[in-house]
Amino acid sequence: MNKTKLMFALLASLVLGACSSDDSEDAAYTVTEVTEAPVWQMDWTNNQARPNWTQPAAIYENWTTMMVQIEKTLQPYASQQDLMAIFINDELRGLASPAVVVDSEESSSTKYLMKVWGNEKGTETVKVTLKYYSQQLQHIFSLSDNIRLDADVTTGIKGDFIPEFTLGSAKYPVVKAINISTISDIIAVAKLQPATGDTFAAFVADECRGIGSGNTLMLYGREVGESATLKYYQAATGKLYTFENALHIK
């Protein structure tokens, strides 16, 4: 199984919608002075039951080894009760639990080592789905794509394999990338320009739906058609700007 193919194919399957010009429409805003920078955090908890996945029988011609590392966002919630599974054409072909916790002087990471079984040949295109169940969050994250498999090639052993499971959330199935130019257009109404130290986030009602990182805001939606409020903190002045319904999930 080709490591590079699987890693990029899984992530490429989640094609994010292009930013719409509707996101740059003028929006009403309010300004609040705050004593410290806001700390925004998304709530990834869900209400999904623990899946009854079981180890597949060793009845296949081929197998390969896969090591999956949990991404930084979900790392704080990782536990020994979590499950990692891979499906090929909707058939369970590999299961890992408990996790392997790797500690270093700088950080601690959680990885799942599994044997993936199969009869497929490298010329066949199959549907591959990687699923991660977080016991603490009660949440099943899933990434899928149609790819070709190569036997006897390891994944995530010589180099890190860190799928972005937050892009395959059951709680937020609609994901949209909002780039910094769109944010700039929105805050320009208040005569603001993005600056070092500024932070921003999206909210639907009181629920945080995305936190700005660098030049991108990942907007997470429960369904198409939702509108979100943009909150923008200007570090230089200590002011929090709130732009009502400035972002749209389409």
Asked if 230 and 38 count as a contact pair (C-beta separation under 8 A), the reply is no
Is residue 30 classed exposed, middle or buried when 0-12, 13-18 and 19+ CB atoms within 10 A define those classes? exposed
Residue 55 lies in a domain: no
30 and 70 in a single domain? The answer is: no
Of 8-17, 59-68, 213-222, minimum mean pLDDT range: 8-17
* Domain finish residue from 135, 168, 201: 168
Domain count, the chain: 2
pLDDT at 7 (0 to 100): 41
Task: Using the predicted structure, report yes or no on whether residue 20 has a pLDDT greater than 60.
Answer: no
Cα–Cα distance between 107 and 101 in angstroms, integer?
Answer: 11
- C-alpha dihedral over 87, 167, 45, 106, to 10 degrees? 100
Residue 211 located in a structural domain: yes
Q: Are 202 and 235 found together in one domain?
A: yes
205 and 157 housed in the same domain: no
What SS3 class is residue 156? Answer: coil
Check residue 101 and give its pLDDT.
67
**Residue 102 shares a structural domain with residue 129:** yes
User: Residue 225 in 3-state DSSP?
Assistant: coil
User: Is 40 contained in some domain?
Assistant: yes
Domain membership flag for residue 4: no
Do 233 and 216 reside in the same domain of the chain? yes
- pLDDT, residue 3, reads 43
**pLDDT value, residue 5:** 44
pLDDT digits (tens, 9 = 90+) for 116-138: 888 877 667 889 999 999 999 99
Residue 11: inside a domain, yes or no? Answer: no
At CA 82, angle to CA 78 and CA 85, rounded to 5? 120
pLDDT reported for residue 175: 95
Domain that holds residue 195: 16-44+172-248
Provide the pLDDT confidence category of residue 191 given band limits of 50, 70 and 90: very high
